[in-house]
Each structure stands twice: as C-alpha cells, then as structure tokens.
Structure 1
Amino acid sequence: MSDVTVALLGILILVVLMLLEMPVAFCMFVVGFLGLWIIQGRAQAFNIIGSDIWEQFSSYGMSVVPFFILMGNIAFRSGVTNDLFHAAYSWVGSVRGGMGVTTVIASAFFGAICGSNAATAATMGTIALPMMSKFGYDDSLNTGSVAVGGTLGVMIPPSVVLIVIGIQYNLSIAKLFVAELPAGLLLTVMFAITVLLLCWRNPKLGPAGPRTTFGEKIKALLGVIETLLLFVLVIGGMFAGWFTPTEGGAVGCFGAIIIGVARGKLKWPAFKQALWDTISTSTMVILLVASAVVLGRFLTAAYLPSALAEWVTSINAPNLAVLLVIIIVYVLGGMFSDALGFLTLSVPVFFPLAEALGYNIVWFAVLVTVVTTFGAISPPVGVNLYVVKNLRPDIPIATIMKGAMWFVPAYILVIVLLIAIPQLITAVVSAA
C-alpha cells in the first residue's frame, strides 16, 4: 500500500469519526499519529508528535490566541453587546427592516471582539430575537438575520479563525486581518441591503421602529465610542506596525478591562467568568492547532499535498474548476462544523494545492473563510441555524432555514466578486 493511499484512508477514517460526532481535535490527532506510525514507524511517530506539539504549545505566536479571546469575553461581560445593539438601532431602527439591519451591524461590531460565528449568533440572538418579536417582525426575517449576522463573527478582524490559520500555515496575521476587512465589510453591507430590499417588497416582514432624535443618536454612539476606539487602536496599531498581533491582543485586553471598570460594569464575578471562558476556549483552540500539526505532518510525510497538486496538473483541469470544487468542499464542511474546526482540519490539504495552482495564499485564506461561514447558514445542517433554534425552540427549523435562504444570493455575490476581482483583497494587502 502506497503512502498516498494510507493518507487517503486516513482522511476517510477522519470523516467517519467526525460524522460519529467525535471531537475534531481528537480525530485529527488519532489519524495523524497512527498514520505517522504506519508510514515512518513507532519511534519516529512519537518523536514527531512530542517535538512538534511542544513547539506549538510553547511558541510565542500561540499566545495571541488567549489575548484576543479574553478581550472578547471581557467586553461581553461588560455589557458591550447591549450598547452596540442600542447604538446601531438608534441610527437605522426607524426604517422598514431597521431592526434586522441593526442586528447585522451590531453582529459585525461584536464580531470584531468575538471571532466565532456560533458565539456571535448566540450572543446577539439573546438581544435581537426578543426585540424583533416585540416590534412585530416576521419570524423568518427575525431568525434569519440573527443566523447570518452570526457569520460576521468570523469575518470581521480580529478573527480567531484567521489567527489560527496564520499560525498553522506560517502566514502574517496582520496581513490576514488587512485582507479580511474588505470581505467582512462587503458582507455586512450586502446583508443590510438584503434586509432593506425584503422589507421594501413586503413591509409586513419588518415594520419601522420608533424614531430617535439626533441627540439620542449621538448619546447612543458615545456609549460605544470607547469600544470602537479600542478596536481602531488594536487593528490600526497592527496595520501601522506599532505592535505585533500578540502585543495588540495584550493592548486589547488591557483596554477592555479599563473600559469595563471605568463604566462600572466589570465586577469581580464577571471578570472571573471571563477568565474561565477564556481558559476553556483557548484550550480548545490550542488543542485544535496542535492536533492539526500532527495531521499535517502525516499528510506531508505521505506526500498527499504534492501528489494532489501533480494529479490536478496532469488532468489539465482549469484552475477555476478546481477552485469551485474546493469551494463546494468548504461549504459542506461549514455546514457540519464551526468554521474554526473545519478550516484547521483542511489547511494541510488545500492550502499547498492553492499555492501550487498559483493563487495568492492570503486571498485564498480569506475566500475559504467566507465560504465556510456560508456553510454555517446553509440548510439542512448549518450550525448557526441550530444555534438560533436553541434560542427560539417555538419557531420551526423550516422557518429559520427560510429566513437564512433569503441571504444566500448576497453570500454568492460576495464570493463571485472575490473570485472575479481578487484585487479587492490583494490590493489592500499590498497597500498596507
């Protein structure tokens, strides 16, 4: 049996284990370790996983993960989500569909301090779902806007998903953040336009809310100005080269603590819970990365990435056709798992192939992140759909799926634009 055949069997076993709902990190580690044992022997397998896992756990770059996660948890425990929702509503809530647009905008801002599509949907859903029901919004638009808004948790920097991709494939995290921003903003605008168009065609879907005065708008905006300035400082500081991503995460944590304490909303119990949540999430992320390294070593030792690239070249398939197949795989992956888990799993296979085909790897990283988040709202098993279902058990899953499907054209349009005009990403990275 050839090494490539062993690798393909390993991927098949990996998929089966994931379908059995085994933890993704466990699946990657077991398959990677056993594959190395078969190909290179027991001693070499133990040697590789020992040295590589320790290298990942002890690397300076890995410290960026808990910093950004802690920043998001502290901001959440300080009541930032309510303030963001109120600020967005004060400016756009008085138009038809304004509450849905508010949900999208607030999700985008919260995504800047969260980094997870499921967590953003769950957090914003606790605020937005009752509010939209109160104002008579249609259940499908209500739940659909929350589900799709949740995907912005991954698409607005600083994104934990792109941090992990950067660490795993040795890419500049700052460049990934720069590249992600136009894609995230484009998605936000397209989602908002979708809500407005739906309510323009059918005003009953989302009635206009009460008007707010200009003074109330300014007051609401001032209520989140510290959070917005912190975001600008952290991301802008990395763009400008003032500090590294790890230092940026530390600055963000310190700033979030100062803001929470100064506003009197960050008490000791909330701070302890934020720390505990950070430990839990960071452990999960680091285990994913370490396990992905083991899997990546196995696939590389089996020469699967190079064999895949050679096979694609030999069949003379157009690069676009290969890219479309990869996109379909990522959509399916995003349906079944959170973006972080599937992207971590797929990096060792598809990123070398993308480089072999001549694609800009930073552009490719952003593209597949967008595609994977699209899978999170795609029926029948998009993870965000079921997050919203857990928040509103009284609403049929078919209604939630219907609401999410209204946003599919917006997602497809953004994906097409990113493929047709890669300069939307690459030009921004070059200029940074």
Structure 2
Amino acid sequence: MSDFGLGVSGLAAMFALMILRMPVGMAMLAVGYFGIVIMNGDRSANALLVTEAFSATANYSLTVIPLFILMGNIASATGFSRRLYEAAFAWVGGLRGGLASASIVGCAAFSAVSGSSVATAVTIGKVALPEMKRFGYSDALATGSIAAGGTLGFLIPPSTGFVLYAILTEESIGQLFMAGILPGLLLTALFMITVTLVTLRNPEAGPRGAAVSWPERMRAVLRAAPLLAIILTSIGGIYFGVFTPVEAAGIGAGLIILMALVMGKLPWGVLTDAVLDTVRTTAMLYLIIIGASVLNPFLALTQVPATLGEGLTSLGLGPYGVLLAIVVIYLLLGMFMDGLAMLVVTIPIFFPIMTGLGFDPIWFGVVAVILIEMGMITPPVGLNVFVVKSVAKDVPMSTIFRGVLPFWFAMAACLLLIVVFPQIAVMIPQAMFR
C-alpha cells in the first residue's frame, strides 16, 4: 500500500473508531501511533509519542484553557451567569419573542466567560427554558434559540476553538480572540433578527414577556455589572496589550473567585465541584491535543494534506472555488462529527491550502470556527441539540432540529458576510497589532 493509501486508511479507521464511541483524542492517538509503527517502526512511534505528548501539554499558551473553564464553572455554580440572563431579559423580554432574544444575549454574554458552547447552552438553557415555557413559547423557538445561542461559546472569546486553532497553526491566540469579537456580535444580531422574523411569521411562537420598568432594568444591569466588569477587564486587557491571553485568563479566574468569596457564594462544596469539572474538561481537551499532535506527523508522512491540496488546486477552481469546496466538506463533516474533532482533523489539512492561496490565516480561523458552529446544530449529530435535549427532556429531537433551522441559515448569512467583507474578522486584530 502506498503512503497516501495508508494515510487515507488511517483516517477511515479513525472515523470508524469515533463511530464506535471511542473518545476523539484516543482515536486520533491510536491511528497516529500505529500508523507510524507501520511506516517507521515502534521505536520511532514511541519516541514521537513521548516527545509530542510532553511538548503539547507543556505549552504555556494552553494554560488559558483550564483558567477560562474554571472562570465559567465558578460563574455558573455561583449563579452569576443567571444575572446576565436577567439583565438581558429586563431589556428585551417585553418584546415579541423577547425571551428568546434575551436567551441569545445571555448566551453571548456567558460565552465571554466560559469559552464553551456546551457550558453556555446548559447554563442559559436551565435558566431560560422554564421561563419561555411559562410564557407559552413554542418548543421549537425556545429550544432552537438556546441551541443556536450556545454555539456562540465557540466563537466569542475566550473560545476553546480559537485556542486549539492557534496551537495547531502556531498563530496568535490574542489575535484570534480579537478576531472573534465582531463576528460574534454580528452573529448575535443575526440570531435576534431571526427570532423577530420567526415571531412575525407566527406571533404565537413567541408572545411578549412582562413589561419591566426602567428602574428595574437599571437594577438588573447593576446586579450583572461585577461579572460584566470581569469580562471587560479580561478581553479589554488583551486588546490594549496590558496582559497576555494567559494572564487575562488568570486575572479573570482570580477575580471571579474573589468576587464569589466576598459575596459568600462559594462554599467549599461548590468550589470543589467547579474545580473537579474543570479538571475533567481540561483532561478531555488535552487528550484531544495530544492525539492531534501524534496524528498530524503521521498524516504529514503519508502526504495526505499535500496531496489533497494539490488535488484541489489542480481543479482550476480558483481561490474562492477552493474555499467553497472546503465549506461544503465542513458542512458534510458537521453532519457526523463532533466540532472539536472536526477542528483538529481538518485544520492540518486545510490550513496549508488556504494560506497557500493567499487567505489570511486569522480570517480563515474565524471561517473555520463558524463552520464548526454550524455543525453543532446540524442533524443527525448536532452536539448542541443533544445538550439542549438533556435540559428539555420532554421536547422531541425533531422539534429541536426544526427550531434550529432558521438559526442555521442565520449562520450561513454571517459566513457569507465575512467572506464578502473579510474586515469584519481582521479589523480588530490589525488595529491591535498595527
């Protein structure tokens, strides 16, 4: 078998292992390790496993992952995240479909704390779904807005998706974080417009919530102000160059723990649970990174990325034709693969192709993350749909998928705007590092 054939067989074996429910990181690790054993022998494979596992986990930049995860877990466990939703509810809840829009705004705000789509969907879903059910919202709109809003956790900084992309491509985490701000705000606005269009078409899907007085609106904002201040301190500090992303993560986590202690909302049991959950999530992400670090040298040896790149460019599609082909591949993969798995498997293959065609690597990072977000609500896998189903146990899966469909098209519109107007993604990073 040729080297290229071995590489393709390895990828097929990896997908098969994932289908059989093997953890993503272990599937990549097994294929990469045994593939190198076949090609270069066990001594080479053992040496690669040791060196890559150490170098991947010893990467100082990866420290942002556990720190921001801890920050999100503390915010969720202490109830601070609920205040974000309540503030959004106070301002837009009285509009038609306002509770769904408030859920999306709450998801966007909590995304700036957690960096996780799953954590965002679960946290806001537990708060918002009972409220929407109480006001008579349709199950499709209620669950669809939470599932779609949760995907913002993968785009709005501090995004774990951008951290992994930066590690895989050796790009700047700070620039990628800044690149996600405007697209994240744009996508939030498009989601809210989608809610408006859905409720205009079917007013019964999203009745108005209770009117909230101006004094109560201001009190809701003041209650959420401490957490908002921590978010602005972390993200703003990166933008103004006051501290690095790792330092921003440490400051954010430290401030939120201090705030919880001062307010008496962090008993020992809550802190222990938050730390244990952080360790479990971090271990899962680190295993994926180690697996990718072993798989990528195997793919490089088999010339799979180079061969696929040459094949795409030889079709004569031009830069944007190749981009369209990659978009289609991502959409197809999103029907069957987890978002993080898609990221670590495809970026080593597609990144050299896109940069070789002259596309900005930071811009492509935003495009890739949005495509992976779309996969999070695409049937039949749709990770965020299953997450929302775990919260809304009485709602059929078909109803949730029907509810996310309008938001999927909103994501497609956001992606198109970023392709047509790339400055949406690169304007802040360029201004920051000018």
- Shared fold per TM-score greater than 0.5: yes
Deviates more, 1:376-385 or 1:357-366: 376-385
2:102 match: 102
State the Cα deviation string for residues 355-414 of structure 1 (Å, max 9, x = none). 122211111111011011111112233122222222222222221111111222211111
- SS of alignment partner, residue 403 of structure 2: helix
2:32 match: 32
2:289 match: 289
The answer to whether residue 342 in structure 2 is matched with residue 339 in structure 1 is no
Deviates more, 1:195-204 or 1:93-102: 195-204
Distance 1:204 1:314 in 2: 53
Cα distance, 1:261–1:336 mapped onto 2, change above 3 Å:
farther
Distance 2:89 2:337 in 1: 31
1:7 match: 7
Structure 2 counterparts to residues 140-159 of structure 1, below 5 A: 140-159=140-159
Tell me, yes or no, if the aligned pair for 1:105 and 1:188 is still in contact at 8 Å.
Answer: yes
Distance 2:334 2:117 in 1: 11
Structure 2 counterparts to residues 204-219 of structure 1, below 5 A: 204-219=204-219
Q: Which amino acid aligns with 1:106?
A: G
Tell me, yes or no, if the aligned pair for 2:336 and 2:380 is still in contact at 8 Å.
Answer: no
Tell me, yes or no, if the aligned pair for 1:309 and 1:356 is still in contact at 8 Å.
Answer: no
Distance 2:353 2:40 in 1: 24
Deviates more, 1:375-384 or 1:266-275: 375-384
Structure 2 stretches lacking a partner, 5+ long: none
Give the TM-score of the pair, scaled to structure 2. 0.96
Tell me, yes or no, if the aligned pair for 2:313 and 2:322 is still in contact at 8 Å.
Answer: no
1:426 match: 426
Tell me, yes or no, if the aligned pair for 2:337 and 2:381 is still in contact at 8 Å.
Answer: no
Q: Which amino acid aligns with 2:379?
A: P
Distance 2:384 2:332 in 1: 14
Tell me, yes or no, if the aligned pair for 2:67 and 2:253 is still in contact at 8 Å.
Answer: yes
Tell me, yes or no, if the aligned pair for 2:117 and 2:384 is still in contact at 8 Å.
Answer: yes
Q: Which amino acid aligns with 2:21?
A: E
Distance 1:30 1:380 in 2: 26
Deviates more, 1:384-393 or 1:286-295: 384-393
State the Cα deviation string for residues 289-317 of structure 1 (Å, max 9, x = none). 11101011111122222222222222322
The answer to whether residue 49 in structure 2 is matched with residue 75 in structure 1 is no
2:91 match: 91
Structure 2 counterparts to residues 29-428 of structure 1, below 5 A: 29-428=29-428
- SS of alignment partner, residue 292 of structure 2: helix
State the Cα deviation string for residues 34-76 of structure 1 (Å, max 9, x = none). 1112222221111112111111122222222111111111111
Q: How many residues in Structure 1 have an aligned counterpart in Structure 2?
A: 432
Deviates more, 1:410-419 or 1:372-381: 372-381
Distance 2:72 2:332 in 1: 28
Q: Which amino acid aligns with 2:429?
A: V
Q: Which amino acid aligns with 2:346?
A: S
Distance 1:81 1:228 in 2: 10
Distance 2:333 2:242 in 1: 37
Superposition deviation, residue 180 in structure 1: 0.9
Distance 2:132 2:157 in 1: 27
Distance 2:291 2:69 in 1: 20
Superposition deviation, residue 197 in structure 1: 2.1
Aligned CA-pair RMSD: 1.4
Tell me, yes or no, if the aligned pair for 2:335 and 2:379 is still in contact at 8 Å.
Answer: yes
Deviates more, 1:308-317 or 1:354-363: 308-317
Tell me, yes or no, if the aligned pair for 1:138 and 1:206 is still in contact at 8 Å.
Answer: yes
Q: Which amino acid aligns with 1:35?
A: G
Distance 1:49 1:381 in 2: 31
Deviates more, 1:15-24 or 1:330-339: 330-339
Tell me, yes or no, if the aligned pair for 2:309 and 2:350 is still in contact at 8 Å.
Answer: no
Tell me, yes or no, if the aligned pair for 2:121 and 2:149 is still in contact at 8 Å.
Answer: yes
Superposition deviation, residue 121 in structure 1: 1.3
Superposition deviation, residue 325 in structure 1: 2.1
Deviates more, 1:30-39 or 1:187-196: 30-39
Distance 1:127 1:262 in 2: 24
Distance 2:42 2:15 in 1: 24
After TM superposition, the runs of 4+ consecutive aligned structure 1 residues lying more than 4 A away are none
Tell me, yes or no, if the aligned pair for 1:117 and 1:338 is still in contact at 8 Å.
Answer: no
Distance 2:380 2:45 in 1: 39
State the Cα deviation string for residues 128-154 of structure 1 (Å, max 9, x = none). 111100011111111111111111111
Tell me, yes or no, if the aligned pair for 2:179 and 2:366 is still in contact at 8 Å.
Answer: yes
Distance 1:251 1:311 in 2: 47
Q: Which amino acid aligns with 2:294?
A: V
Q: Which amino acid aligns with 1:376?
A: M
Tell me, yes or no, if the aligned pair for 1:336 and 1:383 is still in contact at 8 Å.
Answer: no
- SS of alignment partner, residue 96 of structure 1: coil
Distance 2:272 2:235 in 1: 26
Q: Which amino acid aligns with 1:83?
A: R
Tell me, yes or no, if the aligned pair for 2:237 and 2:248 is still in contact at 8 Å.
Answer: yes
- SS of alignment partner, residue 114 of structure 2: coil
- SS of alignment partner, residue 112 of structure 1: helix
State the Cα deviation string for residues 165-202 of structure 1 (Å, max 9, x = none). 11222110000011111111111000011112221332
- SS of alignment partner, residue 113 of structure 2: coil
Distance 1:313 1:397 in 2: 40
Distance 2:362 2:259 in 1: 33
Tell me, yes or no, if the aligned pair for 1:351 and 1:361 is still in contact at 8 Å.
Answer: yes
Superposition deviation, residue 338 in structure 1: 3.6
Q: Which amino acid aligns with 1:154?
A: F
Tell me, yes or no, if the aligned pair for 1:333 and 1:372 is still in contact at 8 Å.
Answer: no
